[in-house]
Structure 1
Amino acid sequence: MTRLTFHWFLPTNGGDGRQVVGGGHGVQATDAARGATVGYLGQVARSAEQLGFEAALTPTGAWCEDAWVSTAMLAPVTERLKFLVAFRPGLTSPFLAAQMAGTYQNLSGGRLLLNVVTGGESREQRMFGDFLDKEQRYARCDEFLSIVTALWRGETVTYRGEHLQVEDAVLTQRPDPRPEIYFGGSSEAAGRVAARHADVYLTWGEPPEQVREKVEWVRKLAADAGREGQVRFGIRLHTIARDTSEAAWAEADRLLAGISDEAIERVQAGLKQSESVGQARMLELNRGTKDSLEIHPNLWAGVGLVRGGAGTAMVGSYAEIADLIEQYAAVGIDEFVLSGYPHLEESYWFGEGVLPELARRGLWSHPAPVAGTASVPFGASRAAH
């Protein structure tokens, strides 16, 4: 089995706290106890780096801070951590986006990954001045990525598509290395774009058998597009890891108790307006009720009651969560993009509990291990006297 990779999350979507911070997919973020400041986000980023996470996902949309600017401000307070920057193609010209990515990559020392988010909510897109419908947005995204990746390869690009045009475009400062493209989506249009352009296809945390179906779906599409074996697979989940299963489920119960019926009704009404197929699948898992939320052993759908997008969490002891991760790995998942409430503390529960368990199983190793300190032979000295 291949070595697994783990990423964390930067809560620029209104901040962080000891309750579920809702929002996303056209729903405004709820108030959080900890603001999304450079100081606090820097704490989260440095902790993720120290614990062995590879990168930190930073969201995009009207409900959060801008991901490019936020992560550029955090790069100087970290050393190794990469930033998985979510951005929406079409809101920026392809040449400018290619140039921005090149600048970011070269000035950060190769620490940029790109999460391409086409945009699932027409009403939110219109806030940004984008009036295309969903199918048109995916068609434009395909054109966008074709131009950007050609520029990154050093080609001189003249392109006249249905949505985008460039003429004699050449990128002077190419990114080194080329940023990898992470891409998600459950619609047929999303699958076609992922098959053509994604380095990593991301899915939200559905039960393993449903994830297997999506992996096989994208693998076939990629093979049909001439990219067999060129797409890796990742999953976006929350996590509640504790020393014991009882302690983990007690924490899930505490989070659930902090979610009011009124909040569920309001947020669910907003999320049901989403055009995202993936969001509809998340809503099917929680059904808008606090009942029967363990949808697979140690997989809990409570977060999705009030949060758009990723709505499930792995809940359990370190060994139980490691077991669930192995189930996902068995169906083709190589990368895990995780988060938890609060993000600072939960990074330590997972990083100091689950990651060592996975290391013992030979499934993970720290990307930048710290050398052990040399022992001082005080014991031998005492024995001689």
Structure 2
Amino acid sequence: MKKIVVLGSTGTIGRGVLDIVRAFPHDFKVVGLTTNTNIKLLKEQAAEFKPLDTGIGEKDLMKIATMKEADIIIVAVVGLSGLLPTLAAIRNGKDIAIATKEVLVVAGELVMKEVKKYNVHIIPIDSEHSAIFQCLRSGEGKEVNKIILTMGKGKIAAMKKEDLSSVTLEQITDRSVWKMGDKITIDSATCLNKSFEVIEARWLFDIKPSKIHIVVHPEYICHSMAEFVDGSIISEMGTPDMKRYIQFALFYPERKKMCVTQGIDITDKTLSFEKAPYDKFPGLKLGFDAIKKGGTMPAVMHGADESAVQAFLLKKITFVDISLIIQKTMKAHKVIQNPTLDKIISAEKWGQAYAKKLIDKKI
């Protein structure tokens, strides 16, 4: 029986994890749960799963992340609050199932060094990275020619470039697939989320940026691919349901029959792929720019995005201003190479502050 801790058990991913535990009660034991603010739901979860300990707010994350009884820590908290607990869990020899993208976006190089040092596994829950993780099991690292991240094509992507400045939050959140919170939905619309995924992939799979490619896949059936040196392309396909990826991460390296979501009938399905819209969405290039500069640049990019998205939500800036603010913030930053954790966190805060200045000055 695998003993698990869920950091962020009351969020979407955390609740999905507990759905899997309910479906496989003889395979998992919940030993720790945390929430940021949803205390009522945490109490209900604790009554049902009877963990050894629970935590509320960032102050308790470290304590729960380092529980000696745990085999695997599911990191599903919001934002940078997941960084220090993830590092602490790794240093305590715990395997990590990670859904909090900020951990690898902001400090991916540092985190992966610790993963190797302490000889633990880090299994992605994010759909594209889980897909690639699974595809790469078909060969060795030296046999990989490139990895191919897929991105969808929603209503915003179908708009003309000249119409993007008038895009509203209501238009962005009107999605038929992958229902998410406002922040990640906006990042998906600007393509910043895909840029973050490029940074994650760089460190998670220890792959050169030149070997990371992006294609548009409107049907949301293929969730990413890996091409090997012999020309073979391995893809991961299935229903766009995060519970598939959560289950894979929890059972890794085993597989079990899925019983909490439906499979997909590929009969009569169409698969199409298009070139990534770099010209229409400049945010799509920023992840490559960040990892090319290296050091503290990914942290600055993330910080600037935090401020820009918040300003858009407050209707202080337009949709197209988001990427522009991030670009200008990155251009102004003097990169620190091989940064310490403190330098990384400081750089992220600097990115937030500089972007806010641009916003206040009306860019």
TM-score interval for Structure 1 and Structure 2 normalised by the shorter chain: 0.3 to 0.5
The two structures have a TM-score, normalised by structure 1, of 0.31
Larger Rg: 1
Higher relative contact order (CA 8 A, sep 6+): 1
Structure holding more helix per residue: 2
